[in-house]
Amino acid sequence: MAKPNRIFLIGPMGAGKTTIGKNLARQLGLDFIDSDQEIQSRTGVDIPTIFEYEGEEGFRDREQAVIDELTQLDQRVLATGGGAVLRPLNRRNLSARGIVVYLACSPEQQYERTYRDRRRPLLQTEDPLARLRELMAEREPLYRETADYVVSTEGRPASAVAREILERVS
């Protein structure tokens, strides 16, 4: 089987998409790109600032344009934002243009990995764990619908998850 040249990582915030994506790209000799980082570099501001001035809808518009563009590039591992699956066009583009891996982990694991991070606008709330549970309830069916593979990152090092992905997609 040929080496895959487009792998797209989806999943909730804190699942490890960026860390695992970099590891996977290195092992496959592909470039790594993170859609959130790409949006920040293009706008010159961080995501909380985009949320503040344009709202979540404005951010999702930017995200959709970036994902449309990045999913057409070969030789890439792409890590998407946790909410990328909310838009039907994103789901279609991801599914049609590459191998989609859903990095799954519990809201409790997400919380452990993200609760100190002030750059996550959706967690700036009284009860971040409850918010993570709400987001998971809404997004989990979309992650599963979009994914070719589901890989758990729960309590696992990035290198082990990357190896499992490699075994599955190669």
Instruction: Encode 14-34: b = buried (16+ Cβ within 10 Å), e = exposed.
Output: bbbbebbbbbbbeebebebbb
pTM: 0.94
As a whole number of angstroms, the distance between CA 74 and CA 166 comes to 17
Domains in the chain: boundaries: 6-169
Structure tokens at 62: 């930017």
Residue 3 reports pLDDT greater than 80: no
The upper half-sphere exposure of residue 11, i.e. CA atoms within 13 Å in the direction of its Cβ, equals 29
Tell me the CATH architecture of domain 6-169.
Answer: 3-Layer(aba) Sandwich (3.40)
For the segment 141-169, what is each residue's pLDDT rounded down to a tens digit?
999 999 999 999 999 999 999 999 999 99
DSSP-derived secondary structure letter, 118: T
For the segment 58-113, what is each residue's pLDDT rounded down to a tens digit?
999 999 999 999 999 999 999 999 999 999 999 999 999 999 999 999 999 998 88
Residue 115 reports pLDDT greater than 80: no
Helices and strands counted in the chain (H then E): 7, 5
For the segment 121-148, what is each residue's pLDDT rounded down to a tens digit?
666 778 888 989 999 999 999 999 999 9
For the segment 30-46, what is each residue's pLDDT rounded down to a tens digit?
999 999 999 999 999 99
Structure tokens at 55: 């709202």
As a whole number of angstroms, the distance between CA 164 and CA 170 comes to 10
The percent of residues in the chain predicted with pLDDT above 70, rounded, is 94
Q: What confidence category does residue 114 fall into, taking pLDDT thresholds of 50, 70 and 90?
A: confident
The residues, ordered by sequence, that sit 6+ positions from 90 with a Cβ below 8 Å of its Cβ are: 63, 64, 67, 68, 80, 84
Residue 2 reports pLDDT greater than 70: no
As a whole number of angstroms, the distance between CA 168 and CA 170 comes to 6
Task: Please give the pLDDT value at position 127.
Answer: 86
